[in-house]
Structure 1
């Protein structure tokens, strides 16, 4: 029982350390001049998200990394289309949707712990968090749009032009 308690404290400590960052509002389009639009590149986009006192969420693009290679099919886990999660849309130059994925709400992740009673799931709430997305850049993707899924619609967070 003590071991489970210490493990939970350890996990929560790691999560809190990962959330220690500064953010600012970025609602307009930002450009990333460093991405090559050639075949066989994996692109990693890094973001910070923060919940404001008014309850809205601010997202800031913090970094971009590219590497040669191709993500295997199924290597990116797609979450459910639930309120709170973030919809990521990959767009072509003409605005056509190339693909979509959904990531879990980074401000409210679910922590799983194991104890003598079995598996326990607890929803954590953070004021700030970091998250990333990755995708294959085949040369077709010219921008990436992030939207927060709500019960009735989606709220635009940020659009990154590649």
Structure 2
């Protein structure tokens, strides 16, 4: 009986040792490990943005999630190209622009308030906020660049290599 239990224990250890588990977390450099970002997957990048004492914005990459599948193009909402918004650029291996998106300024969101006199929109000024970007990874996107749109130019906030 003891021999049989020892045999099953040995088989269990062999099976557990042969399992290969992968996780979808970024490494210390903030880049996504190549073995985790397969083609035909959806990548979700989460960021934090905050105002610095000098008045500029600082963006940090907080988390990455990867799932299998494809986002339909109609489900991606693009905003206006105006000052204050963020330009998200997906770049290829040679630095060419593959896709661009604009998201509203996360530090100055517009909130809808319903009161007795009706619906009103109020702009809120925040010092710290979070935002996310999602996109289809077909194996061609190698980095994501986030820029702040100003009235005269664009300021690079962060570039994340995948």
Q: For this structure pair, what is the TM-score category when the shorter chain's length is used for normalisation? A: 0.7 to 0.9
1:86-126 deviations in Å (ceiling 9; x for gaps): 00000000011001000111111000112232220000011
Structure 1: which 5+ runs fail to align?
A: 1-28
Calculate the TM-score normalised by the size of structure 1: 0.78
Name 1:113's counterpart in structure 2.
113
Name 1:96's counterpart in structure 2.
96
Q: CA deviation at 1:37?
A: 4.5
Name 1:143's counterpart in structure 2.
143
Whether the 8 Å CA contact 1:86–1:148 is kept in 2: the answer is yes
Higher relative contact order (CA 8 A, sep 6+): 1
RMSD, matched Cα: 1.5
Whether the 8 Å CA contact 2:37–2:66 is kept in 1: the answer is no
Name 2:18's counterpart in structure 1.
none
SS in 2 for 1:74: helix
Structure 2: which 5+ runs fail to align?
A: 1-28
Calculate the TM-score normalised by the size of structure 2: 0.78
Whether the 8 Å CA contact 1:45–1:63 is kept in 2: the answer is yes
Matched residues, number: 134
Name 2:133's counterpart in structure 1.
133
Name 2:63's counterpart in structure 1.
63
